[in-house]
Amino acid sequence: MQPDPRTGETGPNDVVSIERHGPIALVALDNPPVNAASHALRTGLWQAVEQLQDAPEIRAIGLYGKGRTFIAGADIREFGKPPLDPWLPDVCNFLENSAKPIACILHGTTLGGGFEIALSCHARVALKGTKAGFPEVTLGILPGAGGTQRAPRLAGMAAALDMITSGRQISAQDALDHGLVDGLSEDDPREAALQAARDMLDGKLPVRKTGALEVTHDEAALQAMRDKLAKAQPLLYSPHKCVEAVAASSQPITEGLKEERRLYNACMESPQRAGLIHAFFAERAVAKIPEAAARPRNIASIGVIGGGTMGSGIATAALLAGFPVTLSERDQAGLDRGTAAISRNLDGAVKRGKLSPEGREAILASKLATSTDLAALSQADLIIEAVFEEMNVKREIFETLDRIARPGAMLASNTSYLDINEIAAMTGRPEDVIGLHFFSPAHVMRLLEVVVAEKTSAETVATGFALAKALKKTAVRSGVCDGFIGNRIMTFYKKAADYMMMDGAAPEEIDRAMTGFGFAMGPYQVADLAGLDISWAANKRRAATRPAEERYIPIADRLCENGWFGRKSGQGFYVYDETGVRPNPAALEIIGAERGKAGITPRAFTSDEIVSRFMTAMILEATRVLEEGIALRPIDIDAVFLFGYGFPRFRGGPMHTADLIGAGELVRRIEAYAAEDSYYWRVPELLRKMSETGESFAEMNGKR
């Protein structure tokens, strides 16, 4: 390249440049938006440092990134492709062995491979506000370019283990305290790089080869982490391999790097890695919607109708995102309960470090308004109804909103099941009506189903997705049906669990099998947490249209008839009291009585049988949701279950799991189960076609 006439910069390629200042050379990385460690960046960095080895006047090198961050990690466009030389591990080793000392400036989010490059340099300075870390474990792998070997040499085994096995990010000050950086700066990256290089020459900044440092073997820290992971993450693969890799850091660096590479390759071959990578991309894929080109409306204020669990949670989420919120309830008692719930939610945010005590007081003092009059919402840009799941109540509210809401206001229902088209028909502005299905607790759960009715405008849909981003939630587009994507599928597979319960499996056995598969909670634990009265109301609503052929299990209804709604009432399928949680003996008696009425002789189910039926039912109904166009793509269904239903992330979601099982095997299972219940177990046409053609759900993601 020719020198830039304005700056004097030269460089081996378009993303790496060299700027010379007497005995100092600055190497700048410019690969927007996040300076990802792409092939071009790796090649350019190698060539730049190589060129400077042959420049006798250069005695020190400052390395920094232009833009908002130093290297933020790998280039996701290269995921799943064969690596191209130079590999990142080779680049790190090359930098460490440079005869000219290199000072690296960390700023922005210096993560993964970017952090490994920094640790390979001979000195490090972090700008204030920097976040650094190793997120690889969240993708089912481990830092494979020396991170597990160099971090312990600087910070010790205990600190390195914590960072690497958790994937958490640390602050610049934490990095300094642990010895991972040698100083902090408030300069811009270029000036900091120039000063750091000067300080190396002046002896003010120590120059060290990280790989030459020795590690004190800390068996106590290693065993403590092994014990912690065995208890907290027994099903995961890569965290345990991370511990093995860090343990190898007490060997000479060459031997430790060999062991790191062996363990890295083992992680790459694990099915969990594929599942976690799929989950990573699912979060990004769901944003690709037909309405993406539409311009979202400006949302400056939000009204929330209903101060119950969902309404107060939605209000909390909006307040934490900086929106002014007006909460409306039927009476002052309802407002008081809602305000108290919001206050408790904000207290929780303070305890988690998400909000300062002063911020909490400011929100309650200036951001939250309350009223028993819906007219108080007349100037809100978005009004979210979050009242009880009763269509007549919602119809009445939207009829009123049509009269009082300002023109152009967006009207949303938080319904979990009900028909958004019917709700929208109560207004003269159906294009402004949408479903925003939050998941409880709404200020914590990441999923937001954006339910698009027949007349919902593209602008309204785009606004729903923009709102989700502002609330730091993952939005998934859904069409209209009973239960939308998530609850429709859940309602179906919950029947499979109920059938197994009726036929002989105890609720605790089913829950244990599914948590053994990787779910955070089993279906009966979830039902108790959500409230059995919610599904009871839905069951009563569906009773009139329930097909005569459908096998109906009334056990949960019997619990509700006794006032046992789950956690909130102290008992459901389980008992909740001061001694803890345990199976409810009274519920087991009801189960036995219902089996007797139906003339069923209980039989045993193995954990494998429970998982097989449960997952097959989930995939069966998910395939129908896809067939009907309720979900845009298989990966959208995966996202719903990953972010809203506790599906084990390392398994990638139900449709990813379906591909691992295979369409042919799924068809075989369904046909075998149909011998017991030919109405429930029916093969979707799409799945049968896939079994014949060999097509996978993964292939469909690229076509839709």
pLDDT in tens, 485-502: 999 999 999 999 999 999
Interval 462-487 mean pLDDT: 97
Q: Residue 454 CB: number of other CB atoms within 10 A? A: 11
pLDDT at 6 over 50: no
Identified catalytic residue from 96, 449, 509, 621: 449
Q: How far apart (Å, rounded) are the C-alpha atoms in residues 386 and 313? A: 10
Is 278 an annotated catalytic residue?
no
Q: How far apart, in whole angstroms, are the C-alpha atoms of residue 397 and residue 318?
A: 21
Q: Cis bond leading into 23, ω under 30°?
A: no
**Burial class of residue 49 in the structure, from the number of CB atoms within 10 Å of its CB (0-12 exposed, 13-18 middle, 19+ buried):** buried
Answer yes or no: 539 catalytic. Answer: no
| Beta-bridge partners for 438 | 448
Residue 333 DSSP class:
H
pLDDT over 70 (residue 3): no
Q: What is the pLDDT of residue 76?
A: 79
Residue-wise pLDDT for 113-143, tens only, equals: 999 999 999 999 999 999 999 999 999 999 9
According to the model, what pLDDT value does residue 7 have?
46
Give the per-residue pLDDT at 653: 97
Match 């965290």 to its residue by tokens: 239
Phi/psi for 417 (5° steps) reads: -140, -30
- Hey, is 16 helix, strand or coil? strand
Is a pLDDT exceeding 90 seen at residue 11? Answer: no
3-state SS of 559-619? Answer: HHHCCCCEHHHCECCEEEECCEEEECHHHHHHHHHHHHHHCCCCCCCCHHHHHHHHHHHHH
* pLDDT, tens only, 145-193: 999 999 999 999 999 999 999 999 999 999 999 999 999 999 999 999 9
SS (H, E, C) 167-210: CCEEEHHHHHHCCCCCEEECCCHHHHHHHHHHHHHHCCCCCCCH
3-state secondary structure of 679: coil
Q: How far apart are the first and last CA of the chain?
A: 42
Contact between residue 530 and residue 491 where contact means Cβ atoms under 8 Å apart:
no
pLDDT band for 8, please (50, 70, 90 cuts): low
For the chain, the average pLDDT equals: 95
Residue type, 475: A
Q: Which amino acid is at 665?
A: E
Q: Return the pLDDT at 702.
A: 78
pLDDT reading at 97 higher than 60: yes
**Amino acid symbol at 377:** L
Task: Grade residue 537 by pLDDT with cuts at 50, 70 and 90.
Answer: confident
What residue type is assigned to position 555 of the chain? Answer: I
pLDDT at 120: 98
**Nearest Cα to 509, choosing from 500, 520, 519?**
500
Q: Report residue 9's pLDDT band, with 50, 70 and 90 as the boundaries.
A: low
The mean pLDDT value for 524-530 works out to 92
How many Å apart are CA 500 and CA 509, to the nearest integer? 10
Whether 584 has a pLDDT exceeding 60, the answer reads: yes
Residue 2's pLDDT is: 44
Phi, psi angles (nearest 5°) of residue 577 = -145, -170
- Give residue for tokens 């998941």: 439
pTM (2 d.p.): 0.90
- Structure tokens that stand for 472 in this block: 């730091």
Taking 80 as the threshold, does the pLDDT of residue 45 lie above it? Answer: yes
User: What's the pLDDT at 667?
Assistant: 98
Q: Which residues pair with 60 in a beta bridge?
A: 24
Q: Are 442 and 314 in contact (CB under 8 A)?
A: yes
**Active-site choice (270, 457, 478, 487):** 487
Provide the pLDDT for residue 77.
78
Residue 416 a catalytic site member:
yes
CA-based torsion, 652, 653, 657, 658: positive or negative:
negative
What are the distances in angstroms from CA 155 to CA 101, 150, 164, 185? 21, 9, 12, 20
Strands 410-413 and 382-385, by their bridges, are parallel
Percent of the chain with pLDDT over 70: 98
Instruction: Check pLDDT > 80 for residue 703.
Output: no
437, 509, 539, 612: the catalytic one is 437
Q: Which domains does the chain have, with CATH numbers?
A: 10-268 (3.90.226.10), 302-478 (3.40.50.720), 486-549+594-629+632-701 (1.10.1040.50)
pLDDT in tens, 332-364: 999 999 999 999 999 999 999 999 999 999 999
pLDDT above 60 (res 1)? no
Number of H helices, E strands in the chain: 29, 20
What are 355's two structure tokens? 């909000």
